[in-house]
Each structure stands twice: as structure tokens, then as C-alpha cells.
């Protein structure tokens, strides 16, 4: 026992794979592995589904995809050396069509596992199949995978018995992490594809703290980074180990950033084993005494910085992984489009963002001035295309076909006509120039349907779709504080943040003519949408009067058909429209 290694040199590789890009993902993994080997790492820990990208969703229902995934893993393994690697992939059954019944008696017709492989010296030493498949929140893994049920095993890496688990396995009390520790593991490597939401980092660290206190061994939590459709993976990998006060974070990597961090982990003393597992010898202990490499300890971000970085990463990855380099969006001088433009510039660079000003007969001079000032502050090119000619022509064309022989100035038809003209124009610019079109609607508007279908909702990606209106203002002020500290000048004009919000689709229009003030609206919406409260429960909270609560909740219900037809956007909150909140369109419940 006295000759047992006291430390393990670990490389946590925060990789940003792309779903389905098997060759590209292998190349990323090999690049990270080279960094780990150069630093003398004993083991490189790569995220869940590194080979496939995560989540692969129904791609794993294609036997050909799973076979190609296995071939890609073998291609990767063949290029490994002394540094062991734990890497995620989709592992297939020889007979993917047969029904398999798990321990709960559930039939699984897909013979595919969410898996990790342990590789070194040009070969695959073994695999581990994820045992606990999440089927809540944004997860749908029971549709795509079958749970692992093989006997647990340890991998001896650099002379250290190591346990390997996958994501949800570490959330289970007395589950695989603790079982592996009872079998003699001195450290557990947990690979993850844990999507971001506000406050998630603290939740993860608490859960792993609970496992460490239960198991008595350090846990390495290696997380994916990058954007995939609505989901954002924020990295923030960490290590938790026991200390005098219980357990604490002893290493933490950066959030929302790729990179390979190599450092030494102190191991607990060997202990008598309570269970016996097969041990696979992977790599021998290094013979030379090494100078210890200290662990990184990157501080966590404050909530607004965290949201901003999430939106920037999500926007960058959605645009680039979709094959685009440049984007366009309408900028009106309002807070939503201003914030969206600022995020796009931080994500893609000013040369890749084009603002389109689409003034109507109702656009105010101050809004146009604010839009021009925003563009100047951001350094982006703009086009100004007045919509009045199209508005007049379409009005004239429609007049013979409306019931009263006139389209009234500022009525609903007139307002939506303008919004749809704008959508047509920026989609035409998208087609002409090869730009991906961004939309700027926020979560409060999406919740109550305060938008025009095929108008301001037109586009490919809704950057702030999961950001409440009050948070839009908070983020705008926060970004200005950063800009002032860096350059002495704000990014978003102050007038944008102080004037009354308005769609400017009729004379003198402001949002609060159609909706309660956002200070009332947002808390009601949060209770109804995110907390699943009934109308009666919200009324009892006394956060708004009965009439406002009933009207707002009714608007949420009847706008479901709109939300189903709008672009996806980054998920930030605990319950975003789309992946999280799935309500029936036809719905007569009024609780």
C-alpha cells in the first residue's frame, strides 16, 4: 500500500463537438489528446458523446450511423499513446432491432447505449454503458438508448484504480459512483453533456459534493461545451474531493470556453474493498517523480455575465455550425433588437453583423436616431429600407377585399401588415446575401403572443427567445457597464434603455397599452410558465389583480399555436418554450 501512487495527473478536455461530424469530432479529440500528452497527463477525460456530438437524438436510430460511430472510435483509439483517454460515443448492439427488457421490465427496441470507451496504446481497453437514462427536463434518453446493465469494472490507469461513469449516473444516491468506490476506485471520472440553465453550476457542484461525501473518493466532472440547437453546454468542469470540513471544489475550469486543463489530483489512501470488480490494466504507473501541477480554480460567473456568455456562445455556434458566417437582423431603436445586435457582434464580430432599418410611417425620429447610434457604437454596417411604398401598395390592393372597404390606420390588420412587410424584406436580404436572419423577440412577448406570425417572428434563430423583458433591460445595462469600463462609452444608447417600449405600428403606441407593465407581467408569466402555477394559485399570490392574471394566462394559452411556428432560440431558464414546456395547442383547461 505504501507504494501506491498519491496523485493522478488528469487532463479535462472541454471539447465543442458538432452533432454528426464524426471526422471533425475525432480531429478535435486528437488535438486535445495531444495537449494532454505534451503535459504528461495520465488520463484525458473527454465529454459525453464526444464522437457523435450531443444530443444525437434520432440519429442513433440509424444502424448505419451507430456503425460509423464505432468505426470513428476505433480510428481515434488507434492514434492513442501512453495517456489513457475516456471518451464518449454511441455503442451499438449487433442486433439493433431486437427488443431488450431492462430491470424495470421496460422494452427497449433500440440496441444502442450511451457509452464511454477507455483507450490507450492504440487500442480500446473497455467500455462503460450509462445506467441511468434521464427522461425529464430537456432529456429524452429513454427514447434513444437502453440502460447499461453489465457488471461494473475498474480501469487501472497509471497504477490507480479508476471508476468511470456517465452524467446521470453521478446524480443517483448509492449509485455507480459509490458502488465503484466500494470496489476500490480511488477516483471516479464522470463524463457529462450537462446543458446550461441559470444556476445550474451550483446545482451540479452540490450533487457531486453529495456523491463525494457518500463515496469517500474524489470525483472528476468533465462537461461538454458549445451550442446545439436550443441547448447550451457551458463546460465549467470541476473536481470535488473530501477535506476537513466535508468536501469542496478543488479544481474548476472555465465556463463557456473550450480548452484542455492538466493538473494533479491528490488521491485518498487505499482502503479495504467492500465489493469485488474486474480490474482492467490500462497503463502502468510512471517511474519518475514528477513536479505536481496545480489545479485551475476559475471563479464562477455572476448571473448576468453567465447569461451573456451563454447567449454569445449559443449564437456563435448556431450560426457557424449551420454553415453561415454572417447574420442580419432588423434594428428598430428598441431594446430587444439593440440587445440582440450587441450579442451578435460579441459572438461573430462586427464585420459579420448587418443591421436593417425598416422605418414606417409611424416610426419616430428618436427611434431611428437610436438605431443609427447603436450601429455606430457597434461598428456594424446597415441598410435603410423604408417600408411605406410596400405598405401603401398592399393596403390599396387589400381595400376592395375587406369588409368595411377600408383598412383603418393602426388597427390590427394594419399593424400586422407592416410587421410582415419587414419580415419579407429581411428574409429577402438573407436570401440575396447569404446571411442568416436573427429575430429579436423576448420571452415575455413570446409568452403572450405579442408578436406577428410571419412578421417579426420571421428568421432562423431567436437569440433572446428565453429572456424575460425585465432581464433584457438588466443585460443591456450590464453590457454597457462592461463597455464603459473597457472603452469609456456604452454600446446600447441610453435612450433605448429609458424610453417606453413600443412596436411603433400605430400612432403613439406603447406596450403598456396592450399589456400590464412588465414589472407586473413578468412575475405572473414566470409563475404560470416556469413554476406551473394555476390561475387560482397566482391570484392567491397577490402579485397582480385578478383581471390581469386571468387575461395574461389566457393570452399564454391561446398563443401556443404561434410559438410552435417560431424560430428556436437559446435555452437559459429552467423551463423554455419548446424543449422544456410542451403544452397542447387545443387546450380548454382554465385552472
Distance (Å, rounded) from C-alpha 508 to C-alpha 346? 33
Give the model confidence (pLDDT) of 134-156 as tens digits.
Answer: 988 888 888 889 999 999 999 99
Task: Please give the average per-residue pLDDT across 456-473, as a whole number.
Answer: 96
Q: How many CB atoms lie within 10 A of CB 433?
A: 11
Cis peptide before 55 (omega within 30 of 0): yes
Is the model's pLDDT at 379 over the cut of 90? yes
Per-residue pLDDT band at 108 (split at 50, 70, 90): very low
Let me know: does 266 contact 169? Beta carbons within 8 Å: no
**What average pLDDT is seen over the chain?**
92
C-alpha distances in Å from residue 97, one per residue of 62, 110, 142, 157, 478: 11, 6, 16, 36, 53
Distance (Å, rounded) from C-alpha 273 to C-alpha 184? 5
Distance (Å, rounded) from C-alpha 500 to C-alpha 509? 10
Give the model confidence (pLDDT) of 504-550 as tens digits.
Answer: 555 666 666 778 999 999 999 999 999 999 999 999 999 999 999 99
Backbone torsions φ then ψ of 571, nearest 5 degrees: -90, 120
Is the model's pLDDT at 361 over the cut of 90? no
Per-residue pLDDT band at 1 (split at 50, 70, 90): very low
For every residue of 63-87, which 3-state class applies, written as one string?
Answer: HHHHHHHHHHHHHHHCCCCCCEEEE
Q: What is the DSSP secondary structure assignment for residue 145, as one 8-state letter?
A: -
List, in order, residues 6 or more apart from 448 with CB less than 8 Å away.
515, 521, 525, 552, 555, 556, 559
Is the model's pLDDT at 391 over the cut of 70? yes
- The answer to whether residue 130 is catalytic is yes
List, in order, residues 6 or more apart from 235 with CB less than 8 Å away.
14, 223, 224, 225, 253, 254, 255, 256, 257, 258
- The answer to whether residue 48 is catalytic is yes
Per-residue pLDDT band at 109 (split at 50, 70, 90): very low
Distance (Å, rounded) from C-alpha 482 to C-alpha 300? 17
Q: How many CB atoms lie within 10 A of CB 67?
A: 13
Backbone torsions φ then ψ of 114, nearest 5 degrees: -80, 115
* Percentage, residues of the chain above pLDDT 90: 80
Is the model's pLDDT at 162 over the cut of 90? yes
Lowest mean pLDDT among 11-25, 34-48, 105-119, 560-574: 105-119
Per-residue pLDDT band at 413 (split at 50, 70, 90): confident
Is the model's pLDDT at 423 over the cut of 90? yes
Instruction: Using the CB atoms, write b or e for 162-182: b if 16+ within 10 Å.
Output: bbbbbbbbbbbeebbbbbbbb
**Annotated catalytic residue, options 13, 69, 83, 130:** 130
Backbone torsions φ then ψ of 360, nearest 5 degrees: -115, 180
Give the model confidence (pLDDT) of 491-517 as tens digits.
Answer: 999 999 998 776 555 566 666 677 899
The two counts, helices (H) then strands (E), for the chain are 17, 22
Distance (Å, rounded) from C-alpha 242 to C-alpha 269? 12
- The answer to whether residue 200 is catalytic is no
Distance (Å, rounded) from C-alpha 215 to C-alpha 561? 48
Give pTM, 2 decimals: 0.93
Let me know: does 320 contact 344? Beta carbons within 8 Å: no
Distance (Å, rounded) from C-alpha 367 to C-alpha 499? 10
Which grid coordinates belong to 43? 488520463
Q: What is the DSSP secondary structure assignment for residue 530, as one 8-state letter?
A: I
**Annotated catalytic residue, options 13, 48, 445, 469:** 48
Distance (Å, rounded) from C-alpha 543 to C-alpha 540? 8
- ∠ Cα 440 442 444 (to 5°): 155
Query: Which of these, 100, 120, 122, lies nearest to 109 by C-alpha position?
Result: 100
What per-residue confidence (pLDDT) applies to 104?
47
**Annotated catalytic residue, options 13, 69, 167, 553:** 167
What per-residue confidence (pLDDT) applies to 588?
83
Let me know: does 3 contact 287? Beta carbons within 8 Å: no
Q: How many CB atoms lie within 10 A of CB 117?
A: 24
Amino acid at each position: 500500500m505504501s507504494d501506491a501512487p498519491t496523485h493522478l495527473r488528469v487532463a479535462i478536455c472541454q471539447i465543442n463537438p458538432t452533432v454528426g461530424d464524426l471526422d471533425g469530432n475525432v480531429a478535435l479529440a486528437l488535438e486535445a489528446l495531444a495537449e494532454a500528452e505534451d503535459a504528461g497527463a495520465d488520463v484525458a477525460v473527454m465529454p459525453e458523446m464526444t464522437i457523435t456530438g450531443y444530443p444525437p437524438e434520432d440519429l442513433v436510430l440509424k444502424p448505419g450511423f451507430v456503425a460509423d460511430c464505432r468505426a470513428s472510435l476505433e480510428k481515434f483509439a488507434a492514434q492513442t499513446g501512453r495517456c489513457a483517454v475516456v471518451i464518449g460515443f454511441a455503442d451499438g448492439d449487433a442486433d439493433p432491432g431486437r427488443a431488450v427488457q431492462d430491470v424495470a421490465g421496460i422494452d427497449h427496441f433500440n440496441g444502442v447505449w450511451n457509452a464511454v470507451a477507455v483507450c490507450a496504446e492504440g487500442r480500446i481497453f473497455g467500455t462503460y454503458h450509462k445506467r441511468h437514462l434521464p427522461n425529464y427536463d430537456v432529456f429524452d434518453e429513454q427514447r434513444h438508448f437502453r440502460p447499461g446493465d453489465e457488471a461494473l469494472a475498474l480501469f487501472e490507469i497509471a497504477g490507480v484504480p479508476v471508476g468511470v461513469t456517465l452524467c446521470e449516473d453521478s446524480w443517483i444516491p448509492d449509485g455507480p459512483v459509490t458502488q465503484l468506490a466500494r470496489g476500490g476506485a480511488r477516483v471516479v471520472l464522470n463524463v457529462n453533456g450537462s446543458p446550461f440553465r441559470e444556476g445550474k453550476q451550483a446545482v451540479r457542484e452540490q450533487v457531486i459534493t453529495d456523491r463525494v461525501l457518500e463515496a469517500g473518493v474524489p470525483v472528476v466532472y468533465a462537461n461538454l461545451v458549445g451550442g446545439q440547437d436550443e441547448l447550451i453546454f457551458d463546460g465549467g468542469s470541476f473536481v470535488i474531493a473530501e477535506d476537513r470540513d466535508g468536501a469542496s471544489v478543488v479544481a474548476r475550469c472555465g465556463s463557456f470556453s473550450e480548452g484542455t486543463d492538466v493538473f494533479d489530483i491528490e488521491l485518498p489512501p487505499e482502503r479495504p474493498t467492500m465489493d469485488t470488480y474486474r480490474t482492467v490494466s490500462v497503463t502502468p504507473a510512471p517511474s519518475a517523480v514528477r513536479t505536481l501541477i496545480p489545479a485551475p480554480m476559475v471563479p464562477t460567473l455572476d448571473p448576468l455575465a453567465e447569461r451573456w456568455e451563454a447567449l454569445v456562445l449559443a449564437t456563435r455556434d448556431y450560426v457557424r455550425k449551420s454553415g453561415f458566417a454572417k447574420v442580419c437582423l432588423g434594428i428598430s431603436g428598441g431594446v430587444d433588437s439593440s440587445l440582440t445586435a450587441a450579442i451578435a457582434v460579441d459572438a461573430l464580430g462586427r464585420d459579420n453583423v448587418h443591421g436593417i432599418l425598416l422605418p414606417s410611417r409611424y416610426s419616430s425620429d428618436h427611434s431611428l436616431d437610436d438605431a443609427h447610434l447603436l450601429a455606430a457604437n457597434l461598428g456594424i454596417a446597415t441598410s435603410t429600407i423604408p417600408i411605406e411604398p410596400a405598405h401603401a401598395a398592399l393596403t390599396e390592393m387589400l381595400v376592395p377585399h375587406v369588409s368595411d372597404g377600408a383598412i383603418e390606420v393602426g388597427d390590427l390588420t394594419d399593424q400586422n401588415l407592416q410587421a410582415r412587410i419587414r419580415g419579407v424584406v429581411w428574409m429577402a436580404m438573407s436570401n440575396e446575401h447569404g446571411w442568416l436572419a436573427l429575430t429579436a423577440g423576448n420571452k415575455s412577448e413570446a409568452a403572450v403572443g405579442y408578436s406577428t406570425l410571419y412578421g417579426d417572428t420571421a428568421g432562423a434563430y431567436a437569440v433572446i427567445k428565453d429572456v424575460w423583458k425585465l432581464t433584457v433591460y438588466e443585460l443591456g445595462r450590464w453590457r454597457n457597464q462592461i463597455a464603459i469600463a473597457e472603452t469609456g462609452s456604452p454600446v446600447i444608447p441610453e435612450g433605448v434603455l429609458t424610453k417606453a417600449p413600443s412596436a411603433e405600428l400605430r400612432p403613439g403606441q406603447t406596450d403598456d397599452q396592450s399589456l400590464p407593465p412588465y414589472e407586473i407581467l413578468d412575475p405572473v408569466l414566470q409563475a404560470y410558465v416556469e413554476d406551473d402555477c394555476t390561475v387560482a394559485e397566482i391570484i392567491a399570490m397577490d402579485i397582480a389583480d385578478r383581471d390581469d392574471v386571468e387575461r395574461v394566462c389566457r393570452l399564454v394559452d391561446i398563443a401556443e399555436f404561434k410559438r410552435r411556428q417560431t424560430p428556436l432560440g437559446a435555452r437559459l431558464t429552467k423551463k423554455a418554450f419548446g424543449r422544456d414546456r410542451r403544452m397542447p395547442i387545443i387546450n380548454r383547461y382554465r385552472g
